C-alpha cells in the first residue's frame, strides 16, 4: 500500500471516529435533556395533583404552626382538580372538622391562607366570650390558644362573640388556632370548597428567623 492510500485510509478512519464521538456527545446531551424534561414534568405533576409545599408567614395558627414552618399539603385528598381552575373532576371527600386546610383567600384569591376547619355545611357556629359552640356543643381542644384575657363585646368585634351562623352548602367555616390573633371566618365569612387546595399533614422544615436557627424538634411533626 503506497503512502497516499495509507493517508487516505487514515483520514477515513479519523473521520469515522470523529463522527462516532459527535454521535455519542449528541446522544449523551439528548439523554440529559430528556431526563431534565421528565423530571420537570414529574415535579409539576406532583405539585399540581399530589403534594405542594407551603411556608407559614404569620402566627395565626400558633402553636400548631409557627412562623417559618415549612409544610407539605396533600392536594389529592379532597379530589382531583383541572389544572389552573377550581373545578374538581374526581371528588373524593370534603374537608372534615379539625382538618388544617390551605385555601385561596376569598377576599383576595391570589393569596393562600391556612386555617383549621371548625364547621362544615349545615353546622351552626357561635361564639360566646371566646368559647366556640358547634351545633350547641362546646368545642374544647388543646390546640386552641388565647393570648389575651380580655373579652371584646360582640358589638365592637367578632373576635370573642359572634353568631349563630349556619354554614351554607359546599362551604366550610375556618378559624386560626391562635384565636386572639387570626384573621379568619369570624371576620370575612365562609370558604367555598372550590378554593380549598388541600390538607396540611407534615412539617418538613422549620426556620426560626428571630433566633437564626433551625427548629430541629419540629421537623417531621405530623399535623393534627
Catalytic residues: 60, 115
Distance, CA of 181 to CA of 1 (rounded, Å): 94
Q: Is residue 186 a contact partner of residue 154, using CB atoms and an 8 Å limit?
A: no
Give the three-class secondary structure for 198: strand
Distance, CA of 220 to CA of 27 (rounded, Å): 41
Place of cell 387546595: 197
Distance, CA of 117 to CA of 107 (rounded, Å): 18
The string over 41-70, giving b where at least 16 C-beta atoms fall within 10 Å of a residue's C-beta and e elsewhere, is eeeeeeeeeeebebebebbbbbebbbbbbb
Amino acid at each position: 500500500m503506497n503512502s497516499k492510500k495509507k493517508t487516505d485510509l487514515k483520514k477515513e478512519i479519523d473521520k469515522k471516529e470523529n463522527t462516532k464521538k459527535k454521535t455519542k456527545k449528541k446522544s449523551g446531551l439528548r439523554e440529559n435533556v430528556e431526563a431534565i424534561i421528565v423530571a420537570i414534568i414529574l415535579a409539576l405533576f406532583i405539585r399540581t395533583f399530589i403534594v405542594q409545599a407551603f411556608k407559614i408567614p404569620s402566627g395565626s395558627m400558633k402553636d400548631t404552626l409557627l412562623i417559618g414552618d415549612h409544610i407539605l399539603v396533600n392536594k389529592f385528598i379532597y379530589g382531583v382538580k383541572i389544572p389552573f381552575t377550581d373545578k374538581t373532576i374526581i371528588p373524593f371527600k370534603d374537608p372534615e372538622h379539625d382538618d388544617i386546610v390551605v385555601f385561596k383567600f376569598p377576599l383576595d384569591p391570589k393569596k393562600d391562607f391556612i386555617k383549621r376547619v371548625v364547621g362544615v355545611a349545615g353546622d351552626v357556629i357561635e361564639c360566646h366570650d371566646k368559647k366556640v359552640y358547634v351545633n350547641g356543643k362546646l368545642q374544647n381542644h388543646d390546640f386552641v390558644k388565647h393570648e389575651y384575657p380580655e373579652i371584646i363585646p360582640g358589638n365592637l368585634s367578632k373576635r370573642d362573640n359572634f353568631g349563630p351562623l349556619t354554614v351554607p352548602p359546599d362551604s366550610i367555616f375556618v378559624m386560626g388556632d391562635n384565636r386572639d390573633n387570626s384573621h379568619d371566618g369570624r371576620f370575612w365569612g365562609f370558604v367555598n370548597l372550590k378554593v380549598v387546595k388541600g390538607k396540611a399533614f407534615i412539617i418538613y422544615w422549620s426556620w426560626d428567623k428571630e433566633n437564626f436557627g433551625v427548629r430541629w424538634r419540629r421537623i417531621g411533626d405530623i399535623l393534627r
